[in-house]
């Protein structure tokens, strides 16, 4: 029983990072109708700008987080302007390939700059473990979880309660009509990408602190899982994406705990096949399907 609860807790924590990356990825897909293969690399760049901030500015965790958010946000901004926007209206697979090109450049570029091996990330948060009735959770994990929830909460508030957030939803459902009612689709698209990027940037620094390192190829793992999460959840409600991401984290953790850790990576794919056979537009439905 303790093992079960512990793994559920661990799973929620891992899942919360999946959720942040997946929600950003999903927002961009839903609003811009593109698969940004470089989203995980935006995550990774945030990790390194956060590292730079931690090493050269201050060892305050907040500074590192801001560094991550700004670095990732800038990368996303440039990507949107130079790659995504010029390819609008083309086959979505073209943007996928172009962003893949960017991803290859980014990963290998970072590997050249900083080496292909993980770099140590300063211990900005301690290693204290808290015990709650048999299960334990570390300070860093707590931070990770709290940050992810905060970011997700912000995203949810933005989309549901702000003027631009409403416009974002309108574009996702009917872009022509949105444009015809005064929404500058280009501007909102850009804002959406930057927002998704900044979210990934914050998540990446929090993950770097958690595992104690920053790595040029860190994005790959999160990228694939987020993609699967987005497909399984459907892109209509991003609360659905959050729920599926958390669920995936929990199931993976349970599989690791009770079966074997090498199988846990396969969980995502079996889940994908299972769900898509039954509900092709994802568990919670998608726009335009």
Partner 1 sequence: MGSFGFWQPIIIFSLLNVILTSGLYITALSGQLSMATAALAGIGGYVSAVLTANFDWPFVPAILVAAVATAIVGGLLAALMVRMRDFILKLTTLAFGEAMSVIAFNIPYIGGANGFSGIPLYSTMTDVVVVAALAIFVAWRFDGSQLGLASRAVRDDPLAAACNGVSVRQVRVTTFALGSAVIGAGGALSAHYVLLVTPSQMGFYFSLTYIIFLLFGGLQSLWGPLVATVLLTAAPEVLRFANEYRLILYGLIILLVILWRPNGLITRRPLGPGGRGPQSGTPSDIAFSGSRGSAAVDRREVETPIGTASD
Partner 2 sequence: MSPLLEISDLHVRYNAVPAVNGVSIVIPAGEIRLILGANGAGKSTIIKAILGLQPAASGSIRFCGEHDLLRLRPHQIHQLGIAWVPEGRQLWGTLTVLENLRMGGFIERDAARLQRRIDELLQRFPRLGERRNQLAGSLSGGEQQMVAIARALVSSPKLLLMDEPSLGLAPFVVRDVFALTREINAMGISVLMVEQNARQALKLAHWAWLLETGRIVVSGPSAEIAATESVQEVFLGGRA
Stretch that binds partner 1, among 14-22, 66-74, 152-160, 274-282 (CB under 8 A): 274-282
Total chain residues near partner 1 (CB under 8 A): 50
**From partner 2, partner 1, none, interface partner of 173 (C-beta below 5 to 8 A by class):** partner 2
Establish if 94 lies at the interface with partner 1 (CB under 8 A): yes
Verify binding: residue 259, partner 1, rule CB under 8 A.
no
Asked whether position 108 contacts partner 2 by CB under 8 A, the answer is no
In the list 104, 123, 150, 259, the residue contacting partner 1 (rule: CB under 8 A) is: 104
As measured in angstroms, the least distance from the Cβ of 127 to partner 1 is 33
CB nearer to partner 1: give 115 or 134. 115
Closer Cβ to partner 2, 11 or 165, answer by number: 165
Among 2, 3, 57, 112, binds partner 1 (CB under 8 A): 112
Site string for partner 1, 53-92 (x = CB under 8 A): ------------------------------x-xxxxxxxx
Q: How far is the CB of 240 from partner 2 (least distance, A)?
A: 12
* Contact pattern from residue 131 through residue 170 relative to partner 2, giving x for each residue in contact according to CB under 8 A and a dash for the rest: --------------------------------x--xx-xx
Give the chain as a 3 state SS string.
Answer: CHHHHHHHHHHHHHHHHHHHHHHHHHHHHHHHCCCCCCHHHHHHHHHHHHHHHHHHCCCCHHHHHHHHHHHHHHHHHHHHHHHHHHHCCCCHHHHHHHHHHHHHHHHHHHHHHHCCCCEECCCCCCCCEEEECCEEEEHHHHHHHHHHHHHHHHHHHHHHHCHHHHHHHHHHHCHHHHHHCCCCHHHHHHHHHHHHHHHHHHHHHHHHHHHCEECCCCHHHHHHHHHHHHHHHCCCCHHHHHHHHHHHHHHHHHHHHHCCHHHHHHHHHHHHHHHHHHCCCCCCCCCCC
Binding residues (CB under 8 A) for partner 2: these are 163, 166-167, 169-170, 173-174, 176-185, 236
């Amino acid at each position: 029983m303790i093992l079960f609860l512990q793994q559920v807790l661990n799973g929620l924590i891992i899942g919360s990072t999946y959720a942040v990356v997946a929600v950003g990825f999903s927002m961009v897909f839903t609003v811009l109708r593109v698969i940004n293969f470089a989203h995980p690399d935006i995550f990774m760049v945030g990790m390194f700008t956060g590292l730079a901030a931690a090493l050269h500015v201050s060892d305050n965790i907040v500074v590192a987080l801001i560094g991550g958010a700004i670095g990732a946000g800038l990368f996303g901004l440039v990507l949107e302007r130079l790659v995504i926007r010029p390819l609008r209206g083309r086959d979505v697979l073209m943007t996928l390939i172009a962003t893949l090109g960017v991803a290859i450049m980014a990963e290998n570029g970072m590997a050249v700059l900083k080496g292909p091996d993980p770099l140590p990330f300063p211990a900005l948060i301690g290693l204290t473990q808290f015990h709650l009735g048999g299960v334990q959770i570390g300070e860093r994990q707590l931070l990770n979880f709290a940050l992810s929830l905060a970011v997700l909460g912000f995203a949810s508030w933005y989309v549901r309660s702000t003027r631009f957030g409403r416009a974002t939803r309108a574009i996702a459902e009917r872009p022509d009509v949105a444009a015809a009612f005064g929404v500058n689709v280009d501007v909102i698209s850009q804002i959406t990408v930057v927002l998704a990027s900044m979210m990934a940037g914050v998540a990446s620094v929090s993950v770097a602190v958690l595992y104690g390192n920053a790595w040029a190829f860190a994005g790959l793992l999160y990228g694939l899982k987020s993609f699967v999460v987005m497909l399984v959840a459907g892109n209509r409600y991003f609360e659905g994406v959050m729920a599926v991401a958390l669920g995936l984290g929990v199931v993976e953790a349970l599989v690791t705990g009770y079966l074997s850790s090498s199988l846990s990576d396969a969980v995502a794919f079996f889940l994908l096949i299972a769900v898509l056979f039954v509900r092709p537009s994802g568990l919670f439905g998608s726009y335009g399907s």
